[in-house]
């Protein structure tokens, strides 16, 4: 069976699962939601069919599992968002339409050869910095939940950081491909531009209090540096630098100190700074192994619309899913993430040029690390930092950026498979 | 680069699998601990979808808690209603969304929500959950006797204090009341009404406080029963042992006076130990205390249950242990001989504090021929399909004093009513044995007053303790009539006919 036919088959399975999800929410909450919900699955299937046909035309040999997995994650997310607040699900649906549009455009524009991006690497580096600085500029940015990382443009609100992440990966892939030998030899001069861009990015992050993204970018940077230079010492040096930097930030920033304190002693701050985390754990624990079932979870007092967990449908959507789907569902969801990541690394292995490898590694690792940072924060492996769960969380910029990430991986994969087929 | 990519891939997958491990922790090992936390509103609210078990008095006669089914946003909830809400709010407690749970509602939550049980019933429960079937809890039958309980509540009304009645042979708690009281139906939505409750005589009204189990008062002369038990049971004295009472007893070079004006206290001359208890003579007990020592008295107090939570089926933090207190903390002296004043301890002062439940246990032990039975409030747990899930059997805690000592104490306590400090409570047909207590609380003319009793003395069916705060009268005239009324409510009608004084 050809790649695209396999993809289509998988998408049909995803569509059936989506229909099942919406149906169970509908059954559980008939009095609150309308029958329209039953048509949502069909709508999403149609949307993914569009993406599929674009892929069939632009990247015929791309990995057939990535799109269905992304579709599944997005469907799980939108189902849960729908269960929590149907209005938000409608908005999220619109964002998914936009995201699929951007995804298709990316495939169509870059389908012939995405490697042209490499020649624009400094442009990407610069725009990454610009995008990161944007929210910090007066007049543009707005502060949400203690972090200044939003830009308001009329009725729209978006997080430029999500796109900056992708731009940075493109820059790093290009730059490291070109300089990897010299950097590996340890010439400090060649590390210069990297450090400058990094220093800038980190400063902006500290300034905007967006620690989750700081960790994400730094992790991706180290991972790509390691893959490019094969020097594990750089990873160690980088980690040491990061620890020193964090210790410094810990000393000067009350925000960071709070986060660490809450991480270590969440239950001692159950009424104040640890409230959100403690409530999230109550929610997760309540799900147990089997979960309460979609639509049967408890997130509010009876008749109230205020959820016990603030930001339930964005940063904390994992807590909602873990309660309703239980350990079985939550572990399943995490397994989908793992499969996606495994496929991503497989693409990096299969492709034969340095830029493509680094690009695939960067995109895949960013995806993995982002999931780790938010879920790890909720379950207590690391301090909690607000960041979206890829494809699942409510939030437009996040969904769009992740579909672009998906497009990137499919582009690299298509080329790898085409070249291999030709030789 | 492929080697590095493979390593990185392994690293990333390890990180992600750690997430599964973390989630597993919260959804398996941590579940029970988190669900029990008082601030877990989510688990509490979720349990409102369970058709919670109902609560009744003994043999299911009077309903104390039932459910009101209501649909909110398509979800069926079972909210709690308390018919006869004023009957036993301190025992039953409440189960609300806004203010957590208290009383039996809290301590027996697992039975009430059906979360107890063996493997097969747990499996069944999980299946029901998946099927969306409403989960059913178990009903509880308490030991409370409606008549005794209602009498206790009515008698305490307008006063500040607590009362407990126990069936001596079984440890069943027949009545447990505290005043001021509150309406448990108001806790959810009209809590401010509860906080506004004021009762004359109370320093702090605190209606949610269960004075019967959490209230700690100086036991005063009722503690002489414990001292007498120690004196007789240790073999140091006999009921006929003689004392010379000059109206006071000398301790540390100072006079400790009998009741009355310290300048001219009551004086009895040569008396026996039995007469000492009958007339509640401080000097007699002061001398006993000096003779046998504080250590011996405390040793017997512990045997009666002091220095331990009574362990009835209420939340542990709603049961205060009785004993010596220092700076609001239970104080167990390492060397009682040097740290405790034995003379004052012997008649229930000297920082000794006791709950009504504890003193009822003392009376019940004497009544049960010297054996302390585990007091309990829960009688039976009945599953939704009518099967008995759990039945509480009478359980012996220990033999506290010998049968002979108990018999001697019974005679002495009987004489308190027939010809001692509580003759006002004597009535034909009611063979009452008791002991009065009027404890100084450091405010002139104000006392915490007590009466502990059991009846009929020759074949006790009920033991009671009543404590009242801030009284101007004596134990016999304030707490005594309440205790007597509760005793009469328990005993069959025929022994109640003669109520003349």
Residue-wise burial string across B463-490, b where 16 or more C-beta atoms lie within 10 A, e elsewhere: bbbbbbbbbeebbbbbbbebbbbbbbbb
| Contact call for A327 and B129, based on CB within 8 A | no
Per residue of chain B (501 residues), give pLDDT as tens. 889 999 999 999 999 999 999 999 999 988 888 887 878 888 888 888 888 899 999 887 899 999 888 888 777 888 899 999 899 999 999 988 777 889 999 999 888 888 766 556 667 666 666 666 677 889 999 999 999 999 999 999 989 999 999 999 999 999 999 989 898 998 888 888 888 888 777 878 888 999 999 999 999 999 999 999 999 999 999 999 999 888 888 888 777 888 766 677 778 889 999 999 999 999 999 999 999 999 999 999 999 999 999 999 999 989 999 999 998 899 999 998 889 899 899 998 888 999 999 999 999 999 999 999 999 999 999 988 888 889 999 999 999 999 999 999 999 999 999 988 999 998 888 999 999 999 888 777 888 999 999 989 999 999 999 999 988 888 889 999 999 999 999 997 654 444 433
Instruction: Return the residue of A nearest to B79 by Cα.
Output: A302
Whether A210 is covered by a domain: the verdict is no
Nearest to A334 among B16, B39, B129 (CB): B16
pLDDT for position A301: 80
The position carrying tokens 């789907």 is A325
Whether A146 is covered by a domain: the verdict is no
- Cα(A337)–Cα(B336) distance, integer angstroms: 67
Domains of chain B by start residue, with CATH = 42-142 (3.90.1310.10), 146-182+198-378+394-496 (3.40.710.10)
Give the mean model confidence (pLDDT) for residues A292-305: 82
Residues 6 or more apart in contact with residue A200 via CB below 8 angstroms = A129, A132
Whether A149 is covered by a domain: the verdict is no
Min Cα–Cα distance to chain B from A373, Å: 10
Q: List phi, psi (to 5°) of A97.
A: -60, -50
Q: What angle do CA B135, B139, B140 make, to 5 degrees?
A: 145
- Cα(B64)–Cα(B58) distance, integer angstroms: 11
**B432 and B425 Cβ atoms separated by less than 8 Å:** yes
Counting every residue written for chain B, the total comes to 501
Whether A223 is covered by a domain: the verdict is no
Tens digits of per-residue pLDDT, A281-290? 999 999 888 8
Min Cα–Cα distance to chain B from A364, Å: 9
* Angstrom distances, CA of residue B353 to CA of B298, B301, B386, B440: 12, 11, 43, 12
| Contact call for B27 and A372, based on CB within 8 A | no
Mean pLDDT of chain A, nearest integer: 86
**B54 and A368 Cβ atoms separated by less than 8 Å:** no
pLDDT for position B432: 94
Q: What angle do CA B383, B385, B386 make, to 5 degrees?
A: 65
Q: Give the pLDDT band (50/70/90) at residue A423.
A: very low
The position carrying tokens 């109230």 is A304
Give contacts of B39 with chain A, Cβ < 8 Å: 270-271, 278
pLDDT for position A241: 77
Domain count for chain A, please give it: 1
Q: Give the pLDDT band (50/70/90) at residue A101.
A: very high
Whether A131 is covered by a domain: the verdict is no
Lowest mean pLDDT among A161-175, A240-254, A344-358, B354-368: A240-254
Whether A400 is covered by a domain: the verdict is yes
Give contacts of A298 with chain B, Cβ < 8 Å: 42-43, 45-46, 49
Instruction: Return the residue of A nearest to B72 by Cα.
Output: A303
- CB contacts < 8 A (A, B): 164
Instruction: Return the residue of A nearest to B15 by Cα.
Output: A372
Nearest to B23 among A28, A331, A364 (CB): A331
| Tokens (6 digits) for B49 | 């979808």
Of residues B262 and A26, more confidently modeled? A26
| Contact call for A282 and B75, based on CB within 8 A | no
Lowest mean pLDDT among A71-85, A87-101, B27-41, B298-312: B27-41
Instruction: Return the residue of B nearest to A381 by Cα.
Output: B22
CA dihedral B68, B73, B76, B78 (to 10 degrees): -30
- Cα(A211)–Cα(B339) distance, integer angstroms: 59
Q: Quick one: which H or E segment has residue B454? A: strand B447-455
Give the mean model confidence (pLDDT) for residues A205-233: 82
Q: Give the pLDDT band (50/70/90) at residue A270.
A: confident
Min Cα–Cα distance to chain A from B1, Å: 6
- Cα(B472)–Cα(B201) distance, integer angstroms: 10
Give contacts of B23 with chain A, Cβ < 8 Å: 284, 322, 327, 330-331, 334, 375, 379
| Contact call for B8 and A345, based on CB within 8 A | yes
pLDDT for position B72: 80
Can you give the residue range of the structural domain that contains A321?
Answer: 3-114+233-422
Interface probe, candidates A282, A287, A318, chain B, greatest B C-beta count within 10 A: A282
Burial class (CB within 10 angstroms; exposed 0-12, middle 13-18, buried 19+) of B90: buried
**B257 and B265 Cβ atoms separated by less than 8 Å:** yes
**B410 and B427 Cβ atoms separated by less than 8 Å:** no
- Cα(A124)–Cα(A356) distance, integer angstroms: 16
Q: Give the pLDDT band (50/70/90) at residue A31.
A: low
Whether A153 is covered by a domain: the verdict is no
| Tokens (6 digits) for B24 | 């597993």
Min Cα–Cα distance to chain A from B131, Å: 9
Of residues A330 and B475, more confidently modeled? A330
| Contact call for B34 and A282, based on CB within 8 A | yes
Lowest mean pLDDT among A142-156, A268-282, B182-196: A142-156
State ipTM: 0.92
Q: Give the pLDDT band (50/70/90) at residue A139.
A: low
Q: Give the pLDDT band (50/70/90) at residue A402.
A: very high
pLDDT for position B499: 44
């Amino acid at each position: 069976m050809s790649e695209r036919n396999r993809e289509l088959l998988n998408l049909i399975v995803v569509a059936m699962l989506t229909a099942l999800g919406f149906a169970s929410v509908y059954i559980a909450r008939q009095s609150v939601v309308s029958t329209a919900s039953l048509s949502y699955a069909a709508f999403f299937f149609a949307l993914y069919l569009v993406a599929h046909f674009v892929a069939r035309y632009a990247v015929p040999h791309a990995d057939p599992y990535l799109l269905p997995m992304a579709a599944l994650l997005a469907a799980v997310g939108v189902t849960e968002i729908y269960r929590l607040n149907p209005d938000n699900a409608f908005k999220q649906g619109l964002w998914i339409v936009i995201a699929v549009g951007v995804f298709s455009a990316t495939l169509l524009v870059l389908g012939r050869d995405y490697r042209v991006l490499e020649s624009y690497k400094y442009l990407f580096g610069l725009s990454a910095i610009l995008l990161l600085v944007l929210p910090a500029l007066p007049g543009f940015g707005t502060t949400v939940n203690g972090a200044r990382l939003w830009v308001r443009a009329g009725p729209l609100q978006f997080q430029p950081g999500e796109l900056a992440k992708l731009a940075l990966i493109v820059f790093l892939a290009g730059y490291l491909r070109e300089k990897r030998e010299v950097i590996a030899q340890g010439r400090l001069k060649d590390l210069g531009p990297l450090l400058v861009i990094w220093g800038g990015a980190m400063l902006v992050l500290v300034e905007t209090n967006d620690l989750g993204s700081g960790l994400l970018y730094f992790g991706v940077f180290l991972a790509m540096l390691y893959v490019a230079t094969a020097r594990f010492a750089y990873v160690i040096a980088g980690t040491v630098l990061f620890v020193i930097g964090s210790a410094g930030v810990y000393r000067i920033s009350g925000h960071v100190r709070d986060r660490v304190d809450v991480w270590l002693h969440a239950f001692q701050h159950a009424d104040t700074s640890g409230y959100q985390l403690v409530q999230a754990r109550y929610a997760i624990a309540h799900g147990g192994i089997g979960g309460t079932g979609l639509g049967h979870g408890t997130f509010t007092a009876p008749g109230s619309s205020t959820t016990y967990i603030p930001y339930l449908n964005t940063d904390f959507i994992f807590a909602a899913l873990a309660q309703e789907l239980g350990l079985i569902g939550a572990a399943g969801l995490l397994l989908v993430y793992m499969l996606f990541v495994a496929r991503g690394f497989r693409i990096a292995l299969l492709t034969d040029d340095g830029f493509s490898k680094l690009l695939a590694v960067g995109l895949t690792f960013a995806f993995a690390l982002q999931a780790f940072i938010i879920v790890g924060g909720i379950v207590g492996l690391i301090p909690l930092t607000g960041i979206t769960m890829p494809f699942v969380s409510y939030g437009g910029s996040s969904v769009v950026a992740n579909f672009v990430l998906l497009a990137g991986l499919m582009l690299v994969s298509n080329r790898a498979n085409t070249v291999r087929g030709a030789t | 680069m492929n080697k590095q990519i493979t390593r990185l891939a392994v690293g990333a997958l390890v990180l992600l699998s750690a997430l599964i491990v973390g989630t597993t922790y919260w959804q398996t090992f941590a579940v029970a601990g988190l669900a029990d936390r008082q601030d877990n509103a989510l688990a509490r609210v979720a349990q409102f979808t369970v058709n919670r078990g109902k609560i009744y008095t003994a043999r299911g006669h009077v309903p104390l808690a039932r459910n009101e089914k209501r649909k909110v946003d398509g979800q069926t909830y079972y909210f709690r209603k308390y018919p006869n809400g004023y009957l036993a709010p301190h025992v039953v407690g409440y189960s609300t969304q806004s203010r957590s749970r208290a009383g039996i509602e809290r301590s027996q939550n697992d039975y009430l929500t059906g979360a107890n049980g063996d493997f097969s019933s747990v499996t069944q429960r999980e299946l029901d959950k998946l099927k969306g079937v409403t989960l059913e809890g178990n009903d509880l039958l308490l030991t409370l006797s409606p008549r005794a309980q209602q009498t206790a509540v009515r008698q305490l009304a307008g006063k500040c204090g607590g009362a407990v009645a126990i069936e001596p042979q079984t440890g069943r708690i027949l009545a447990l009341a505290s005043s001021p009281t509150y309406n448990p139906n108001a806790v959810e939505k009209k809590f401010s009404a509860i906080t506004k409750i004021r009762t004359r005589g109370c320093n702090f009204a605190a209606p949610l406080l269960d004075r019967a189990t959490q209230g700690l008062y100086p036991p005063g002369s009722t503690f002489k029963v414990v001292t007498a038990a120690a004196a007789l049971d240790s073999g140091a004295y006999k009921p006929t042992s003689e004392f010379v009472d000059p109206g006071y007893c000398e301790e540390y070079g100072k006079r400790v006076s009998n009741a009355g004006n310290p300048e001219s206290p009551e004086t009895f001359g040569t008396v026996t130990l039995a007469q000492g208890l009958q007339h509640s003579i401080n000097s007699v007990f002061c001398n006993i205390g000096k003779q046998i020592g504080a250590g011996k008295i405390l040793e017997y107090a512990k045997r009666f249950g002091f220095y331990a939570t009574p362990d009835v089926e209420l939340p542990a933090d709603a049961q205060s242990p009785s004993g010596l207190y220092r700076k609001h903390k239970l104080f167990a002296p390492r060397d009682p001989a040097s740290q405790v004043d034995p003379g004052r301890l012997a008649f229930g002062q000297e920082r000794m504090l006791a709950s009504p439940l504890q003193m009822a246990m003392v009376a019940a032990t004497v009544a049960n021929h010297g054996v302390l039975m585990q007091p309990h409030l829960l009688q039976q747990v009945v599953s939704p399909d009518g099967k008995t899930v759990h039945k509480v059997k009478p359980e012996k805690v220990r033999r506290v004093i010998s049968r002979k000592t108990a018999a001697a104490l019974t005679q002495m306590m009987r004489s308190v009513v027939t010809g001692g400090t509580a003759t006002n409570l004597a009535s034909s047909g009611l063979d009452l044995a008791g002991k009065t207590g009027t404890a100084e609380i450091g405010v002139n003319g104000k006392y915490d007053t007590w009466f502990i009793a059991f009846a009929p003395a020759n074949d006790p069916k009920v033991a009671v303790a009543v404590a009242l705060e801030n009284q101007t009268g004596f134990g016999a005239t304030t707490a005594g009539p309440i205790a007597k009324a509760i005793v009469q409510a328990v005993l069959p009608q025929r022994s109640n006919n003669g109520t003349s004084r």
